[in-house]
Amino acid sequence: MKIKDIPNDDRPYERCLREGPEKLSDVELLSIIIRNGFKDSNSLDLASHILALNYPKDGILGLLHLTLPELTSVKGIGVVKGIQLLCIGELSRRIWKRKTREKALVFRDPGTVAEYFQEDMRHMEQEQFYIMLFNTRQMLIRDILISKGTVNASLATPREIFIEALRYQAVSLILVHNHPSGDPEPSKDDIMLTRRVLEAGRVIGIALQDHVVIGEYSYVSMKERGLL
């Protein structure tokens, strides 16, 4: 069925005009962005196929993590539409992250730190190691990706961490990295690195506040575990 064959009152674009975007389903919203289908599928069909790519795991959140090859694997989605959808996902991610940052300018709670990073990190297939740098008012100066590792090992060193901390005149920092396995339990290497950074920070005068390990739907704070 083509979109023009759907009763006017049930078409996504017309419903959006009449009722507002908040009344539309995920499929309907995505179909409006896709705009056109092709001879075998309308835009609603294409939207359903895209949202089903990661079924049953993520639904609409999966759009943030789909790659261009995955999107173009859906018949009717070419490179141009695929790139448009990637950009929409990235815009959504940036809006969400900026909103989170504005909501919690002071990161005293490890749960807030986890929320800030989790949607970006929980699907990563490699470890990514970030540092969050803070000023004297405990305000976030910036977060910096220090290294990307293998499936089960990142490559961060205290030297790299404190070069960045000194460059931005931070007075304290938080370490954050993900475990691609989804299990946030700290490894021996994680604990060893944390203690090395803690000791180096004491010498330099830059306090390590926490090391937060991100899993798929959970996190571990080494401070809460008594490992700092």
Name the token pair of 30: 């995505």
113-153 residue pLDDT tens:
998 888 778 777 888 999 999 998 888 888 999 988 765 55
Whether 205 shows a pLDDT value over 90: the answer reads: yes
pLDDT of res. 61: 72
What distance in Å separates the CA atoms of residue 105 and residue 179, rounded to the nearest whole number? 25
Instruction: Count CB-CB contacts under 10 A for residue 175.
Output: 24
Inter-residue long-range contacts of 136-139, CB under 8 Å, 24+ positions, other chains counted: 136/171, 138/106, 138/107, 138/108, 138/172, 139/105, 139/106
**55-64, 126-135, 200-209, 214-223: least confident range:** 55-64
Chain-wide mean pLDDT for the chain?
84
What distance in Å separates the CA atoms of residue 209 and residue 41, rounded to the nearest whole number? 53
Average pLDDT value for residue range 54-62: 64
Whether 196 shows a pLDDT value over 90: the answer reads: yes
0.85 exceeded by the pTM?
no
Q: Which helix (H) or strand (E) holds 199?
A: helix 188-204
Whether 163 shows a pLDDT value over 70: the answer reads: yes
164-191 residue pLDDT tens:
999 999 999 999 999 988 899 999 999 9
Backbone angles phi and psi of 40, in degrees to 5: -95, -15
What distance in Å separates the CA atoms of residue 92 and residue 150, rounded to the nearest whole number? 28
Q: How does DSSP assign 33-97, residue by residue?
A: HH---BTTB-HHHHHHHHHTTTTTT-GGGGGGT--HHHHHTSTT--HHHHHHHHHHHHHHHHHHH
**41-45, 150-154, 162-166: least confident range:** 150-154
CA-nearest of 179, 189, 188 to 212 is 179
pLDDT of res. 53: 81
pLDDT of res. 115: 85
Look at 78 and 59; give whichever has higher pLDDT: 78
